[in-house]
Amino acid sequence: MMQVLIDPQKFFENKIKEDPDFKQPLMIIGIMAVISAVSAYIIASKLIGNLPSDMASVAQIGAAIGAIFAIISVFIMWLVYSGIFYGISLVLSGQGTFKRVCEFVAYGFLPSILGSVLSLVLTSKAYSSLDLSVQDPALLEKAMFSDPYIMASTVIGILLTLWSANIWVFAMMHARNLTVKNALITVGVPMGLYVIYMIYTLLQALS
């Protein structure tokens, strides 16, 4: 499976010759979901520590619900990305099943596993140094996004998103039988907009 990270062209060229198999894709998405749940719970727990004791128990339940929602959201994100790529490639006369697209798109989330772990570490450090007792949500948000750990997490997220996009280009070439140009359009349009948004968020924090 490491081949997809260093030579996605060869990986998907070989994979398309096999029958669809969701064991590895589900494992990738499952790992991401677990990391996201742990991250959501840790961050929520840090916020709970600044609440009055009579609200903490209720908030603890909210943290658990947030962790569950984080798991569900990862699987939804997988289907949404697959749907967007499938829809754009449909306009570009792509051929291939949505099932195959879902299978191949999952492999593009491999860099996100590394990103999720690094983000969890950096975000935890950020929340440890932030004054979460600030009552003004706007000031708290500004402090969060200008924190060097959060900024580092954002930069890493941008780089890993570009890595994922590179994998998805080759995934869509083979899953939907697209030319390099059409695969670049299929992946580049939505991912380009997402990267622009991330860069904009980073610049706003720096301003």
How far apart are alpha carbons 137 and 91 in whole angstroms? Answer: 43
Which pTM does this prediction carry? 0.85
CB of 188 closer than 8 Å to CB of 173: no
Q: What is the percent of the chain where pLDDT is above 90?
A: 53
CA-CA distance, 161 to 158, in Å (whole number)? 5
User: What confidence score (pLDDT) does residue 130 get?
Assistant: 60
Q: What is the pLDDT of residues 73-122, one digit of tens each?
A: 999 999 999 999 999 999 999 999 999 999 999 999 999 888 888 887 87
Cα of 169 vs its chain's centroid, Å: 17
CA nearest 32: which of 127, 83, 105? Answer: 105
- Residue 155 pLDDT: 86
Amino acid identity of residue 168, one-letter, is: W
Centre a 10 Å sphere on the Cβ of residue 61 and count the other Cβ atoms it contains. 9
Give residue 23's pLDDT band: very low, low, confident or very high (50, 70, 90).
very high
Averaged pLDDT, 157-183: 95
Measured CA to CA, the distance from residue 20 to residue 9 in angstroms comes to 17
Asked whether the predicted pLDDT for residue 133 surpasses 60, the reply is no
| Interval 35-74: pLDDT, tens | 888 887 777 776 665 555 656 566 667 677 878 888 999 9
